[in-house]
Amino acid sequence: MRVVSYNIQFGTGKDGKVDLRRIAADIGDADIIAMQEVERFFSSSGNTDQVAELAALFPEHFHVYGAGVDVDAATLDDRGRRRQFGNMLLSRWPITSSRNHLLPKTNYIDQLALQRSALEGVINTPLGGNRVYSVHLGHVGAPERRAQIAALMSIIRNAPTDGGVISGRRLSNHWTADGVLPSMPAPAIILGDLNLTPDDDEYELLVGECDLKYGRLSTKRLLIDAWISAGSDAVGGHTDLGSSRGARRLDYAFLTPDLVEHLVSVSVDAQAQGSDHQPLEVIFE
């Protein structure tokens, strides 16, 4: 199973041109795709519905979209049109349920602050039922990211016991007439641009503290960094190559511990030109 995470910067490549076909070419034939910075009806990216365009570029995939930023973009011809910025999931297998979780936001005085979100999709993969998240955390302040991570970790931990988007045994025909109720499985894959590096304090909120002798002290209530678990270079994995602060690892795949045995490899496509980030690929068996 091939999984790709890609912050597409609304399709704007390193040459400054918006080209979603190039994004699709960078991703290739992936089974599950998590994208961040997917827009709808922004003039600077052509006033197009990028969700519809990307779905058309992956015609064999199912898809869901979750907006963080969602504001009016109505026209006389389309009074329901919204200008949106958020995350997208595509899957070769049906996405049996989806939720878009809005994360805590800080109102900075001068710096750009965006409503961020974590898009959840439940997918029955060859590995069994999995929750897959496409996540984008705040880019400015560590305190905001810490609050967002706390909310995200609570969602990840509690979702299986909270149950599926429809649950309960005493349900009327209205809720059961259209098929089997979707479950909320325990295994989870968290993909996306977290706007932090492994050297930042927020990283340990996801994976646990690191002991000088025994290494990462993760538990079942925390996540596993797939890049490290796959045996990749601990100082590599850079997905932001053009920063004035040097190459950085900002994009991640985190796993719940029950998926680690299926992990084969994690890699970064350093040659991709479709965005200011590089796509991250994870292979499972």
Alpha-carbon gap, residue 172 to 94, rounded angstroms: 25
- Note the pLDDT of residue 86: 98
- Note the pLDDT of residue 262: 98
- Note the pLDDT of residue 22: 98
Tens of pLDDT, residue by residue over 146-195, are 999 999 999 999 999 999 999 988 888 999 899 888 999 999 999 999 99
* 9 in a structural domain: yes
* 217 in a structural domain: yes
Q: Domain limits at 122?
A: 2-166+180-284
- Note the pLDDT of residue 120: 98
* 277 in a structural domain: yes
Give the residues of the chain that fall short of pLDDT 70: 217, 220
Angle at 200 between CA 37 and CA 195, to 5 degrees: 5
- Note the pLDDT of residue 43: 95
| 117-125 β-sheet, strand order | 95-102, 117-125, 128-136, 188-193, 251-255, 224-225
* 279 in a structural domain: yes
Helices (H), 100-257: 142-162, 173-176, 203-207, 226-229
* 173 in a structural domain: no
User: What is the CATH number for 244?
Assistant: 3.60.10.10
- Note the pLDDT of residue 129: 97
Q: Distance of CA 179 to CAs 96, 159, 173, Å? A: 11, 21, 10
* 150 in a structural domain: yes
Angle at 102 between CA 100 and CA 104, to 5 degrees: 160
SS3 assignment, position 145 = helix
* 174 in a structural domain: no
Total number of domains in the chain? 1
- Note the pLDDT of residue 151: 98
* 171 in a structural domain: no
